[in-house]
Amino acid sequence: MSFEARIKELGLTIPQLPSPAFNYVPAVQTGNLIFASGQTPNIDGKLTMRGKLGREISLEQGQEGARLCLLNCLAEVRGLTGTLDTITRIVKLNGYVASAEGFTDQPRVINGASELLEQIFGDTGKHARAAIGVAELPFGAPVEIEMIVQVRS
């Protein structure tokens, strides 16, 4: 089954390619690697949640936010390749979690995205990862994700 078909089977929608809010490009390809810029949990250009994990945002909300970030990153990849079926490996995922003091479940938040990658891509979706707690993210977003994928040459 193709990855595009698997996304439909899961009832997911890859959004339109988000427009950069500042001076950067959504994704860059060098050789067979694509570096997708960091994405926050936006739908149609609007941030869906604001706040910090462990205060305004629950763990479950943070995991949902991580999934939205991931879908936006996949839109960036598709914007360069035309299809997600060119992906041969999810190489690395970096997740940033706006954390209230004492919140230490950043890995569990980013698992929302990691688990979705495995649901879509199977073994191809298993990846290296960092889950980093930060004081603030752009516009008050609770989570941001960037990723590196390998595609067919």
Instruction: Tell which residue, 79, 80, 66, has the closest CA to residue 38.
Output: 66
Domain of 98, CATH number, reads 3.30.1330.40
Tell me if 43 sits within 8 A of 55, measured CB to CB.
no
Q: How confident is the model at residue 20 (pLDDT cuts 50, 70, 90)?
A: confident
Could you tell me the residue range of the domain that residue 50 belongs to?
3-151
* pTM (predicted TM-score): 0.95
Q: Which amino acid type is present at position 49? A: M
For the chain, the domain total comes to 1
User: Over the stretch 61-98, which tens digit does the pLDDT of each residue have?
Assistant: 999 999 999 999 999 999 999 999 999 999 999 999 99
Locate tokens 């078909």: which residue? 5
DSSP label at residue 56: T
pLDDT at residue 103 tops 90: yes
Work out the average pLDDT over 19-39.
Answer: 93
User: Over the stretch 125-145, which tens digit does the pLDDT of each residue have?
Assistant: 999 999 999 999 999 999 999
